[in-house]
Amino acid sequence: MAPQEFILSLEQETLRHKAVRHPFLLRFAEDSLTPIQIQTFGLQHYQLVKVFLNYMTNLLPKIPDKDAADLFRRVFDDEFGQYTIFRSHPALYRNFLRAIGLKDEDWGQVPLLPETAQFIEEHMQLTRGSDFLASLGAVGPGHEFSIPTMFTYIVRGLKKNTSLTEGQMEYFTCHIEEDVEHAKVFNQLIARHVETEEGQIRLREGTMRSLSLRKYFWDGLSRTVFNEYSSSTSGVASK
């Protein structure tokens, strides 16, 4: 399969994955939510937000392309806030947490759900590992390409159930726009390394593992926020 054909096929497979249109996301978008339900979601999801840059900084030194840092500059600028730390993505997310009634001390000591802990631990392992293509798949298609679709459901639920301003929801809305461009940056790099079947297999494996962990994370929130149980809530995300 040619590189561009592979990338398109992987993107289509990603959009069909259960993580991207998970029942939790559908319920969050359509149900009437209590403030506690929104706060529970917000606190668990923040644990993922605050470590995402670690995945990027783990991945970058492993990429053999000399221009990788230049390609990723826009991604890092957006994540770090470019001109001020108050515009970094974790800072924007903390603005959201304050807007839904939480205080700084509330997100400092959050007991992690098992699904949240496994998501973080395995992404750290993926991005620290020796296979940079699996890491690239986890962070690129697994995150940057899939997030705009998932966050569309989150924004719909926030608009339905809160009086948050656009500024208070900016963490989510900016990802719907920015990550489309970020995914294009990743695809430029991916296209160089998936000319062989082996490269395509390795990159797809990283993508699918990330999405399986995301599905497991949403499973945990379904249980905690909506008291719903999934067949995969048995202690580990299925491989």
| The pLDDT of residue 146 is above 70 | yes
| The pLDDT of residue 237 is above 80 | no
**Mean pLDDT over residues 182-203, rounded?**
93
* Among 159, 158, 126, CA closest to 140: 126
**Mean pLDDT over residues 147-156, rounded?**
97
**Mean pLDDT over residues 172-191, rounded?**
87
- The per-residue DSSP string of 154-178 comes to HHHHHHHH----TTTTHHHHHHHHH
Structure confidence at residue 43 as a pLDDT band (50, 70, 90): very high
Residues 6+ apart with CB under 8 A from 50: 90, 93
For the chain, percent of residues with pLDDT exceeding 70: 90
Contact status, residue 131 vs residue 165, Cβ threshold 8 Å: no
pLDDT of residue 185: 84
pLDDT digits (tens, 9 = 90+) for 64-122: 988 888 877 777 666 655 555 556 888 999 999 999 999 999 988 899 999 999 999 99
Report residue 225: phi and psi, to 5°. -85, -40
| The pLDDT of residue 219 is above 90 | yes
| Assigned architecture for domain 3-226 | Up-down Bundle (1.20)
| The pLDDT of residue 8 is above 60 | yes
